[in-house]
A and B are shown apart, each in its own frame.
Chain A
Amino acid sequence: MLEISHLYKKYLNSERFSVEDLSISLKPGEIFGFLGQNGAGKSTTIKCLTGIYPFNSGTITICGHDIAKDPINAKLNMGYVPDNHSAYEKLTGREYVNYTADLYKVSKRDREERFNKYVSQFKLTKAIDMQIKSYSHGMKQKICIIAALIHNPKLWVLDEPMMGLDHQSMLEILKRMKDHVDEGNTVFFSSHNLDLVAKICDRVAIVKDGKLQCVIDLHVKGNKETLEQTFISITATEQDIINTANDTGEFKLHLGV
């Protein structure tokens, strides 16, 4: 479904690689979590695979289409929800979704069916004909999700989709993710919420300083429970370890141990 092979990405005027030799492979029907601290290279990887950023070397294929060589077909198989939930705010929700559907050549019948389903699922029926600029944070996130799903993409990519959402909205998105993979598609998303990732993902990848540290299968017994511990042990910096040690020492001193 998604193959990233030896991806290298360095920003202009930067001395180090933001993504370095990253390779992952996603299977159909799985939810794949992408974890890492701030600045680890998650968003950069996502922006490379969606075609937003060019990259220095490596290959990214989506459903067999190389994003660099055959970008149109690769993009036709992908839906993307950005981290800043930005959409054309002067358009109404309906206009925006129709605009996206036109770009992905969705037929009228499929469009009507999916549109009605998602609008009602995400409870946007009342607001759908309002300009997007009047939407709340959560509503904007939802309209971005509907626009990303209107062509029923085989690969659904979300960059930190739960940020700033209320519990109910989070549950709605999680349900949609599960439904999407049940239809044989794949979901790839980045997040900082370890509990949520452990609850919903089939596999997770942890990145640190642009390098892939490990891929964990959460169906293996014990991996879900130890995910947080594993994440901390992998991503902690030397300073984090010193701080933790100091805190523990002070705590012990306070207790008179």
Chain B
Amino acid sequence: MNNIRTLLKLEFKDKFSKFSASNKNAYLKVIGSLIMYAAVVYGIFLVSRIFFQMFDKADMGYESLVLIFTVLLIFLCFTGVSSTVKVLFYKGDNEILMRYPVKGEEIFISKTLFLIINQIMITAVIVAPLLVAYSEVMELGSDFIRVIPIAIMFLVLIPFFVSNIFAIPIMHLTNRIRNKFGLIIIGLTIGITLLFAVYMFLFNKMVTFIGDKEFSVFDEGFVTIVKDVCKYLIPTKYFADILVGKELYIAYPVLIMILGITLCGTILVVMELYPKTLLKNVETEGSAFKHVTKNRVRPIFFTLLHKEFLQVFRSVNYSFQYFVLACAMPVMVYFCNSIAMQLGKNQIGEQISVGMTMLVMLIFATVISSFSATSVSREGDCFYHTKVAPVSIELQLFVKFTMYFIVSFLANIICVVVLIYAGLMETGTALWLFLIVELICIGLILRSMRYDVKKPYFNLSGEGEVVNNNVNTTRSVGLGFGISLIEGMLGMILGYIMDFATLQIVCSAIAVVFFLYALLSYCIGLRKTYNKIAK
């Protein structure tokens, strides 16, 4: 028991290692975080209130609760598997812990407790405001509020035990497919696009509902389908049942039974497989792959580009941050744009549509371009290569720029083609828009790269990847959002109060000035600054 307590303490110390009681700034950060969490909780409360009102208007209040629990349960199972694999198997401290005179079971229990405590806190923060909003909309009394902790406990424990059962098989499976990078990128792109499409559908409905709360935004056919589906959403419908006090004689026994079965499954899996898996260290075994090639001679430019591409392509993390978002960008722009256009046409006027499209495209371009803010940091331990190689720093950085440029260029051109073919914009206007967005994209890439040249952060994970986005990424995103807002808002305002020609002149001028500023600030003193980097 003492060992478990010590190990658990270790986990928490590790989690809060950045907090120092003697540091005043640490307290400020904690207060800042608490304010942020409070804002998030309030945000969840507000959004979910509209969501429930919208469903209530269509007489689907109960169904909305079932749907929410279904989504939460699926989400928690996925994140549960991910965090179980991360904390129980991939975390570097396993190797250290296994050297201590502690049992594999003790390590498992301490880590499990750590995960559960974490999960309860996160789930409570997300689910409590959501359910409070539900009780307010449905005018439910204190009975409902009193059952919320029970529902949260079920919601935490069932996915937790399920994810424990599936963690090891899924880990083996992911190890088998983790090197099928093309497949992963396609899968992730489809997943992200679908998720975004569902999100945009609901968002669209909510915006329409806010505009006119008197009528339901769902047609009868949709309502019938949702009601039918919800009847069969087992076991998630029982979560809703215990909250609204419906068929409690079935809901509680079923949930308790599921809890018991999954707990037994977890115990069996842990006893049989956990210590073995730890010792076998499956993550390293399965993560490397064999790729038989011939010795090939490439020109310097292309060999650098090839290396840069492989470094990103062979990392699920980087591929997701970069290629997947770039692939999904046209779809996102299409959805956002059609909704924005609809809103603009209905409420303000068609004149703002170009500015709005520009804003949407630039925001997505910002997210994609921000990847270039880790161009030097991602070199990590291999940074010395860039200094030792008989190739100028300018050329090496130009190659990195080329890769970012190609991806942003393709994403932007596809966006524009989609807009033209969907009839959302005229060809001439779309091409002009492409030039403006591309010019700003190049400027953003150059600025982001320069941020990273000035102060790279080489703290990488065991897999040699940037663990968290660094300050440079934040600065890059901030700059991108800033310029997007300026261009987009000006585009909308000028389009509304003046004419299209004025809009074109002003937005083009801003884009050119930003591009020139980014280009100059990138070039001036580049080599000197790069040479100062000493890892």
Contacts and interface: CB of A to CB of B under 8 A. Distances in A.
A82 B311 CA distance: 20
A50 B306 CA distance: 25
A6 interface: no
A105 interface: yes
Contacts of A95: 291, 293, 307, 310
A98 B310 contact: no
A78 B292 CA distance: 29
Contacts of B292: 129
Contacts of A50: 384, 387-388
Looking at B381, B387, B390, B532, which has the most chain A CB atoms within 10 Å of its CB?
B390
B310 A91 contact: yes
Interface stretch (A51-59, A173-181, A191-199, A206-214): A51-59
A34 interface: no
Nearest to A84: B381
Interface stretch (A130-138, A161-169, A234-242, A247-255): A130-138
Given A102-B303, A130-B290, 15 more contacts: A47-B534, A52-B388, A54-B531, A71-B390, A75-B390, A80-B388, A92-B290, A99-B306, A99-B307, A102-B298, A102-B300, A103-B389, A131-B290, A131-B291, A133-B464
Interface string A132-164: 011000000000000000000000000000000
A46 to B, nearest CB: 11
Interface size class of B (residues with CB under 8 A): 35 or more
B382 A87 contact: yes
B534 A82 contact: no
A131 B310 contact: no
A86 B381 contact: yes
A117 to B, nearest CB: 13
A53 to B, nearest CB: 6
B307 A88 contact: yes
A129 B289 CA distance: 9
Interface in A49-85: 50-54, 71-73, 75-76, 78, 80, 82, 84
B205 to A, nearest CB: 43
The 6 closest A-B pairs by CB, nearest first: A134-B288, A102-B303, A86-B381, A75-B390, A131-B288, A90-B314
Nearest to B285: A134
Interface in B362-409: 380-382, 384-385, 387-392
Contacts of A99: 303, 306-307
Contact of B284 (A78, A107, A130, A134): A134
Interface size class of A (residues with CB under 8 A): 35 or more
B388 A105 contact: no
B534 A11 contact: yes
Given A92-B290, A103-B300, A133-B288, A72 B391 contact: yes
B470 interface: no
B229 to A, nearest CB: 43
A131 B304 CA distance: 18
Given A54-B532, A133-B288, A102 B384 contact: no
Looking at B296, B307, B315, which has the most chain A CB atoms within 10 Å of its CB?
B307
A92 B293 CA distance: 9
Contacts of A88: 307, 311, 382, 385
Interface string B285-322: 00111111101111110011011001100110000000
Nearest to A106: B297
Interface in B116-174: none
Contacts of A91: 307, 310-311
Looking at A71, A101, A108, which has the most chain B CB atoms within 10 Å of its CB?
A71
Contacts of A102: 297-300, 303
B14 interface: no
Contact of B387 (A51, A101, A104, A129): A51
B232 to A, nearest CB: 45
A104 B384 contact: no
Contact of A75 (B304, B307, B389): B389
A129 B295 contact: no
Interface of A: 11-12, 47, 50-54, 71-73, 75-76, 78, 80, 82, 84, 86-92, 94-95, 98-99, 101-105, 107-108, 111-112, 115, 129-131, 133-134
B293 A129 contact: yes
A84 B298 CA distance: 28
Looking at A11, A104, A112, A131, which has the most chain B CB atoms within 10 Å of its CB?
A131
Contact of B388 (A51, A73, A134): A51
B463 interface: yes
A50 B291 CA distance: 32
Contacts of A73: 390
B307 A131 contact: no
Given A76-B390, A131-B289, A52 B381 contact: no
Nearest to B535: A52
Looking at B284, B311, B381, B463, which has the most chain A CB atoms within 10 Å of its CB?
B381
A107 B291 contact: no
A111 B464 CA distance: 28
Contact of A133 (B287, B387, B391): B287
Contacts of B464: 89-90, 133
A128 to B, nearest CB: 9
A75 B310 contact: no
A90 B310 contact: yes
A153 to B, nearest CB: 10
Contacts of A108: 295, 297
B481 to A, nearest CB: 31
Contacts of A72: 390-392
A52 B295 contact: no
B290 A52 contact: no
Contacts of A51: 387-388
Contacts of B531: 54
26 contacts: A12-B534, A50-B387, A50-B388, A51-B388, A54-B532, A73-B390, A75-B390, A78-B388, A80-B384, A82-B384, A86-B382, A90-B464, A95-B307, A98-B296, A99-B303, A99-B307, A102-B303, A103-B300, A103-B389, A103-B391, A107-B297, A111-B297, A129-B292, A129-B293, A130-B290, A134-B287
A134 B464 CA distance: 13
A99 B291 CA distance: 15
Nearest to A108: B297
A52 B390 contact: no
